[in-house]
Chain A
Amino acid sequence: MNILADIISATVLFAIPLLLVALGGMFSERSGIINIALDGIMIIGALLGCHTLKWLDPAVTAGNLGSQVAVMIAILVAGVAGIALSLLLAFSAINLRADQTIGGTALNMFAPAFSIVLTWAILGQGQTTMTLPTWVRIVQNNFGKEASGTFGDMLVFKSLYATHFLCIILFAAAVILLYKTKFGLRLRACGEHPQAADSVGINVYKMRYAGVMISGFLGGIGGMSFVFAVGGFQSEVAGYGFLALAVMIFGNWKPWSILGAAFFFSFFRVIGNYASSIPFMPKLSNVEGVTTYLWPSIPYVVTVILLILTSKRSRAPKAEGIPYDKGQR
Chain B
Amino acid sequence: MKKSIISILAAVISIVAGLVLGLVVVMATGSDAAISWSCFTAMLTSGFSSMAKLAKVLYQAAPLIMTGLSVGFAFKTGLFNIGAPGQYLMGAFVALVGAIQFQLSWPICIIAAMIAGALWGALPGLAKAYFNVNEVITSIMLNWIGLFIVNISLMNMPKMLPPHWVPSPIKDRTASLKYANPDGIIPKMGMDEFFGSPYINISIIIAILFAVVIYIILNRTTFGYELKACGHNRESARYAGINAKRNIILSMCIAGALSGVGGALYYLSGEADYNILKVLQANGFNGIPVALLATSNPLGIIFSALFISYIQVGGEAMQPHFATEVIDIIVSVIIYLAAFTLLTKGLLSKVIKFNDGKDANAEPKPAEKNTGKENGK
Contact = CB atoms under 8 A, between A and B. Distances in A.
Interface of A: 36, 88, 92, 96-99, 101-103, 105-107, 109-110, 112-114, 116-118, 120-121, 125-126, 239, 242, 245-246, 249, 287-290, 292-294, 296-297, 300-301, 303-304, 307-308, 311-312, 325, 328
Contacts of B82: 105
B145 interface: yes
B249 to A, nearest CB: 14
A296 B222 CA distance: 44
A218 B30 CA distance: 32
Interface in B181-204: none
Interface string B337-348: 011101100000
A98 B29 contact: no
A308 B133 contact: yes
B127 interface: yes
Nearest to B171: A288
B88 interface: no
B223 interface: no
B332 A106 contact: yes
B145 A304 contact: yes
A159 B26 CA distance: 39
A38 to B, nearest CB: 12
B376 A110 contact: no
Contacts of A290: 152
Contact of A114 (B134, B140, B329): B329
A304 B136 CA distance: 11
A51 to B, nearest CB: 13
Interface in B127-186: 127, 131-134, 136-138, 140-142, 144-145, 148-149, 151-152, 155-156
A92 B326 contact: no
B232 interface: no
Q: Give the 6 A-B CB pairs with smallest separation, nearest first.
A: A113-B328, A121-B29, A110-B332, A98-B340, A106-B336, A106-B335
B2 interface: no
Interface string B278-318: 10000001001000100000000000000000000000000
Contact of B145 (A98, A102, A242, A297): A297
Given A102-B292, A289-B152, A293-B151, A242 B137 contact: yes
Given A98-B340, A113-B327, A113-B332, 11 more contacts: A101-B136, A102-B338, A112-B328, A113-B328, A121-B28, A239-B140, A288-B152, A289-B151, A297-B149, A307-B131, A325-B377
A101 B80 contact: yes
A100 to B, nearest CB: 8
A116 B148 contact: no
Contacts, number: 141
B109 interface: no
Contact of B156 (A113, A116, A249, A287): A287
A300 B332 contact: no
B69 interface: no
A97 B332 CA distance: 18
A297 B147 CA distance: 9
A117 B137 CA distance: 28
Nearest to A116: B325
B326 A117 contact: yes
Given A101-B136, A289-B155, A297 B333 contact: no
Contacts of A116: 323, 325
A236 to B, nearest CB: 9
A289 B29 contact: no
Contacts of B377: 325, 328
A300 B325 contact: no
Q: Which secondary structure characterizes the binding site on chain B? A: helix
Interface of B: 25, 28-30, 80, 82, 127, 131-134, 136-138, 140-142, 144-145, 148-149, 151-152, 155-156, 278, 285, 288, 292, 320-323, 325-329, 331-333, 335-336, 338-340, 342-343, 376-377
Contact of A92 (B292, B328, B340): B340
A246 B342 CA distance: 30
B336 A311 contact: no
14 contacts: A97-B340, A98-B340, A102-B288, A110-B329, A113-B326, A113-B328, A116-B323, A117-B323, A245-B137, A246-B137, A246-B141, A287-B152, A288-B155, A288-B156
Contacts of B140: 239, 242
A316 to B, nearest CB: 9
A262 B236 CA distance: 38
A259 B243 CA distance: 39
Interface centre among B320, B326, B335 (most CB of A within 10 A): B335
Contacts of A92: 336, 339-340
B342 A98 contact: yes
B339 A106 contact: yes
A102 B326 contact: no
A92 B28 CA distance: 25
Given A98-B343, A101-B80, A294-B152, A117 B25 contact: yes
Contact of A105 (B142, B321, B335, B343): B335
A216 to B, nearest CB: 16
A113 B342 CA distance: 26
Contacts of A113: 325-329, 332
